[in-house]
Amino acid sequence: MTTSDNPLGSIFISHRALASIASQSALESYGIVGLAVKNLAEGISHTLVKDPVLGVDINFEESAVIIDLYIVIEYGTRIKSVADNVAELIKYQIQNMTGLTVKSVNVHVRGLRISNPD
């Protein structure tokens, strides 16, 4: 959780709120089919409880945010372009909505999926 102080009081932004912004931004990006689990334990817990921020990991280093994103990309799209675009979009959205500095967005491509087999 990050804290920001102003003359009227303090603002607390949770990891979950940042993960929600990143998740929605990623799912709206061209070429992204979905988010993926980062490890087996998360995969098992996801089968039990559907978590909307699956595949997003938020960490803080001093006053900057580091985001790890685990995605599944549409087969046939250029992987590097999709990964670069989603990283830039998430960085922009987090900085624009919260005012926090994003140090890095690490995109981990976990798989490819064919959405329309025709």
pLDDT digits (tens, 9 = 90+) for 64-95: 999 999 999 999 899 999 999 999 999 999 99
CATH architecture of the domain covering 2-113? 2-Layer Sandwich (3.30)
**What is the arithmetic mean of pLDDT over 16-25?**
92
Q: Where are the domains of the chain?
A: 2-113
Query: Rounded to two decimals, what is the model's pTM?
Result: 0.81
Angle subtended by helix axes 15-27 and 79-98, to nearest 10: 140
